[in-house]
Amino acid sequence: MDIFCIKAVSLGDLEKVLISHDGAGPGSGWFLDKIVIKHKEGEEAHEVVFPCNRWLDEYQDDGKTERELTANSNGSSLKTFLKGKSCFPTIAFYTIVFAV
């Protein structure tokens, strides 16, 4: 699992993300399970899940190295109330990736 933490301003309610790679180099393809974006506003934390479950590889699956993902339809915003002891950044990107 790869985790990328990015501090940024609020992006509002996310509905779609676009993820891709340039396919450069041998073995550049990878399998993407999902993208999880977590962000905190005040004492309230939100989590949005973008399922994929596909390859981004020109030699696997449908050969695409770019995917447009839509937020999970069953209540993509998961609200958790924190008690002042949170230390995760404003926005965190969690991707589940399996290399070829």
pLDDT tier, 70 (very low <50, low <70, confident <90, very high otherwise): very high
Phi-psi region of 47 (alpha: psi -120 to 50; beta: other; left: phi over 0): beta
DSSP secondary structure of 40-59: EETTEEEEEEEEEEEEE-TT
Q: Using the predicted structure, report yes or no on whether residue 23 has a pLDDT greater than 60.
A: yes
Q: Using the predicted structure, report yes or no on whether residue 2 has a pLDDT greater than 60.
A: yes
Q: Where are the domains of the chain?
A: 6-73+88-94
Taking CA 93 as the corner, what is the angle to CA 55 and CA 52, rounded to the nearest 5 degrees? 25
Note the pLDDT of residue 95: 52
More confident residue, 34 or 77: 34
Mean pLDDT in residue range 24-48:
87
Q: Cα(65)–Cα(62) distance, rounded to whole angstroms?
A: 9
More confident residue, 81 or 61: 61
Note the pLDDT of residue 97: 52
More confident residue, 18 or 78: 18
The CATH number of the domain covering residues in 6-73+88-94: 2.60.60.20
- CA–CA distance from 55 to each of 3, 5, 7, 17 (Å)? 18, 23, 28, 16
